[in-house]
Chains A and B, each alone.
Chain A
């Protein structure tokens, strides 16, 4: 019995608990902006026109009461909509799905903890309320938790105290525990050396370590769920881990992370220990010293080779981030192809994020009168005109 309830169920049993929620999700999927919507938004000359156009879409109710429109307000409102939908899904979900949805929010919780840590690092008297407003609404903590996070210092010791008194009660406490464990094990080896070296990097370190632990934990959870969920989710998470690893490598070239003696000791721990590249790929990545090396490592992975080519093309239009976003959208759209699995929920949130990014980008372009540049960074979702669809044809 227990096993039945801790798994999503298959063709015959899925709908007992999760049928309604999935139906909701499929309904929400229709709310994505369509090609037509994008086209009409792209034709706008000012943001009130955008608002007018949005009123005919699913965003209508959320934009209706706004008087003044700006890209950030549109972002806020769109996020509000996403959160409202997500909360509704979450409130309808039963155990394994509820847990799964919670896992999605942990990602944003890590963002928020990092946001607050970074903000309070230099300035302990920072305004908590403005921070709470900046925080991602999907990973919101209670206010008391946020306030107490601000009281700790940015050092291994500070993190330890922070963990023991505050974060242990939050869902992401376990990642902190793991991070501190690893950190203290390392400190034992060469105590003061590591501390000094990492003083500057520690916030970045902490963030990528937490993210890494989270991805691994999430992947593990998906594995226990089994079935199609595990299959698709692992695909998605692995792709994300690979993107992180490649990005870290690429972005570290100008920094002290790329010095030969720190490559292994500091850059390598930032790579997630999962993904299609793991372990032999990340091992090679940790040796990489410049873009040519990176290209030669990625040559053996056709997908990433192509993505990296878009970076090397030096055309200003597409950066590697865009290529990764595109790939993410492609993968996440595929998650909707299967039924009776949870991956679509994750994909839904990710795709909505991308949609919000698209909207904000288009709005920025309109505000700054650079409409000719809109196509640079914008990945339509469930669009027949998506670049990857045309490529396959």
Chain B
């Protein structure tokens, strides 16, 4: 793999060291992120199952609610329940609160239902004339439905958050696995190659120098011999001294 047109760094021992350190960091990060992704994914799968279950439950409970409402309509003898309920509704008795939950370092919002029964006191006087019991039953049925819906909302939000997170983590894992680490390896490979090359060059140069020197020496030696022969006059000393080269 090429270095994608990136600038080749200077090939020396120091850069090699830095790149080796970077490679170590990247592969450590890669391993960690992969672990995180797997954890998220396993959570995600569990969540999917939960969501399907809850969705079915919501459908069921809403059906129950609609049925209970039909019952209430029947019991309140055609009075318009909706408007009297709207008239009474002032403060919500059911609220949701968000708590953070932590999965592999990702904070996921979890919604919880809070019910303040005291706010419902007004609604209790509904249908005192007739059908009050049925209305109360309807309210309870719908309350269950609301709880299911909130649970579903919580799961869905977690689903979305996890989905985003998994996508991001996968992108990072892939980027590390297929781009960053190969690039660093490539560079390291290049640097080592380059350094080998340099070493070989150096070796060759030294060899060359030695060779040249030898040649030069030989030449000089020859010259000296020639000179000696040319002179060839009886030496002043006559006697050849072994220590004297020239």
Contacts and interface: CB of A to CB of B under 8 A. Distances in A.
A255 B128 CA distance: 10
B127 to A, nearest CB: 6
A136 B78 CA distance: 9
Given A250-B133, A356-B78, A122 B83 contact: no
A211 to B, nearest CB: 7
B131 interface: yes
A368 interface: yes
B87 A122 contact: yes
Nearest to B134: A319
A244 interface: yes
A203 B77 contact: no
A254 B124 contact: yes
A121 B74 CA distance: 25
B71 interface: yes
Contacts of B75: 319, 321-322, 377
Contacts of B22: none
Nearest to B136: A254
B242 interface: no
Contact of A119 (B78, B87, B136): B87
A204 B130 contact: no
B125 to A, nearest CB: 5
Given A111-B79, A319-B75, A357-B78, A211 B128 contact: no
B70 interface: yes
A313 to B, nearest CB: 13
A299 interface: no
B67 interface: yes
A203 B67 contact: no
B83 A321 contact: no
Contact of A207 (B129, B132, B136): B129
Contacts of A121: 87
A251 interface: yes
Given A118-B87, A119-B83, A203-B87, A252 B128 contact: yes
A314 to B, nearest CB: 11
Interface in B58-88: 63, 66-67, 70-71, 73-75, 77-80, 83-84, 86-87
A75 B77 CA distance: 12
A208 interface: yes
Give the most central of B66, B87, B134: most A CB within 10 Å: B87
A60 B138 CA distance: 33
Contacts of A111: 79
A353 B78 contact: yes
A255 B125 contact: yes
Contacts of B130: 243-244, 247, 251, 321, 324
Contacts of B83: 115, 118-119, 131, 134
Interface string A128-164: 0001001010000000000000000000000000000
Contacts of A376: 71
B196 to A, nearest CB: 80
A207 B84 CA distance: 12
Interface string A178-190: 0000000000000
Given A255-B125, A368-B70, A321 B87 contact: no
B76 to A, nearest CB: 8
Interface of A: 71, 75, 111, 115, 118-119, 121-122, 131, 134, 136, 200-201, 203-204, 207-208, 211, 243-244, 247-248, 250-252, 254-257, 270, 311, 319-322, 324, 353, 356-357, 360-361, 364-365, 368, 370, 373, 376-377
24 contacts: A71-B70, A111-B79, A122-B87, A134-B80, A203-B84, A204-B125, A204-B128, A251-B128, A251-B133, A255-B128, A270-B128, A319-B75, A319-B134, A320-B133, A321-B133, A356-B78, A357-B74, A360-B73, A360-B74, A361-B74, A364-B70, A365-B70, A368-B67, A377-B75
